[in-house]
Amino acid sequence: MHEMSIAMNIVDIAVQTAQKNGAHKINSITVEIGALSGVVPEALEFCFEAATKETMAEGCRLEIVYLKAQAECSACGFKFETDQFLNLCPQCGEQVFAAGGQQLQVKAINVD
């Protein structure tokens, strides 16, 4: 499952950052997940606990900030948020491709 490797990657980044700052324990990790990143938040949460086993992040909370993609219609200029790459403009029915929403990054960690 590809969320497992993503979860391990997130834990790695958090542990490295915590160690650099002389922390002993990670309380929570905040990650931003874009709607078009292909990552399913529920699947990531499921893998996260296993990924933290026997690390200083064990038992820590995973806070997910889910970001929608932005779309702007080139025909009528209407702007809207979406979680799909291909959309139909709600205003005029034109095809609109979403931009952004692909991010997957560790935004913040809370340590002791």
Q: What is the DSSP letter of 11?
A: H
**Cα angle for residues 79, 82, 85 (degrees, 5° grid):** 105
From the list 30, 99, 112, 43, the residue with the least C-alpha distance to 71 is 99
**76 among annotated binding-site residues:** yes
To Zn ion, the closest distance from the beta carbon of 97 in angstroms equals 12
Between residue 33 and residue 92, which ones bind Zn ion under the rule CB under 5 A? Answer: 73, 75-76, 78, 89, 91-92
To Zn ion, the closest distance from the beta carbon of 84 in angstroms equals 15
Are the C-beta atoms of 13 and 30 separated by less than 8 Å? no
To Zn ion, the closest distance from the beta carbon of 76 in angstroms equals 3
What residue ranges bind Zn ion (CB under 5 A)? Answer: 73, 75-76, 78, 89, 91-92, 94
